[in-house]
Amino acid sequence: MISFGPTEEQDLVVEAVRSFATEVLRPAARAADETETLPEDALQQAWELGFVATQIPEAYGGAGEARSPVTSALVLEALAYGDAALALAVTHPAAFAFAVLDQGSEEQKKRYLPLFTGERYHAASLALAEPTPAFDVRALRTRAEPKGDAFVLSGAKSSVPLADRASHFLVVAQGADGNGSLDAFVVARDAAGLAIEREKNLGLRGLPTGRLTLERVEVSAADRLGGERGADLRRLLDSSRAASASLMVGLSCAVMDYALPYAKERRAFGEFIAQKQAIAFMLSDMRVETDAMRWLAWKAASQIEQGQVATRAAQFAHAYAAEHAMKIADDGLQVLGGHGFIREHPVELWYRGARTLSVLEGAATL
């Protein structure tokens, strides 16, 4: 029979991860947002769950478990149910590691993958987005100029997660062959010509992001992802968009699960506000749209897992989730009324997180 639900094993994984997210990540979320710092203990506990290391082959020091984008989508949703900013902090190193695993040269795999299989949390980052009014991955301004056996990178990147601590950045640039394709290059944190500046954001403030300025940063040919053959970055982009959709599903579930009991317990003018038609419709729409977002995210993850071209599905999932996660968060504020703006309730934090997630490119991966 055809099944459209998780397997029994995936259900167990989701149960464990959601329990961790609600017991560890969510209690740490408010302080992380207020202080704009990551809770190191929670980060280390999350690292020990092995989201990255378990999926790296044994030859490079990992556990060698089979990669499953569908399972990753479920894990990202469960983590974001606790807190989206900390979910990204926990999982973003995979954006670098999995790109190297999927498309790196053998030399790159041997050099970089063992960094992510140790007992301590290790940060590396994907630098994709750029500080332009309407970012378009098809029109990057960051350029890679061939120079003998090396490349010279010039441009700027924004919203780079973990920029405050990443040992390496995977910088996406206009391809060196000049035909409009994309390339990616490994840039060490201490590379000459690289400047890093901390950003201040509306939401996801617990996740440190930064702006990279690359002024003729020279990297060797061996630092080009995939080496001489280069890399097809379509899978990386598709995985990132599907992953972001899953994060927004998790955040939307958190809003819904907070707003519903509040509406059932809050009385106004002699009746529970959940009995008011306007509120009831909001709560109903939350459920419908969250399920729709989840199905689109699962479809994209499934196509990626099967090796299909998932660009269309991933873009649909991301665009739909970006629109409706914001609507669900706004409706959550409306259900709580004035309490929605008070920081003793987490809905305003989720509202700001939803807005930030909707415009964040390259922050997650499957």
**According to the 3-state scheme, what is the secondary structure of 241-259?**
HHHHHHHHHHHHHHHHHHH
CA distance readout (Å), 294 to 5, 63, 83, 185, 256: 11, 29, 17, 33, 14
- Strand pairing of 125-127 and 143-147? unpaired
Q: Is 181 strand, coil or helix?
A: coil
Cβ distance 153 to 114 under 8 Å? no
Return the amino acid letter for 235.
Answer: R
Which residue in this structure is represented by tokens 């499953």?
A: 68
> What length is written for the chain?
366
Confirm whether 361 is a catalytic residue: yes
Residue 145, beta-bridge partner list: 152
The alpha-helical segments, DSSP class H, found in the chain are: 8-20, 26-35, 40-47, 69-82, 84-91, 93-103, 106-112, 234-265, 277-305, 311-336, 347-359
Q: What is the rounded CA–CA span in Å between residue 69 and residue 59?
A: 21
User: Which residue, 74, 72, 118, 64, is CA-closest to 95?
Assistant: 72
Cβ distance 82 to 42 under 8 Å? no
Q: How far does Cα 149 stand from its chain's mean position?
A: 34
Q: What is the rounded CA–CA span in Å between residue 203 and residue 29?
A: 12
CA distance readout (Å), 252 to 85, 86, 341, 355: 14, 16, 17, 12
The catalytic residue positions are 361
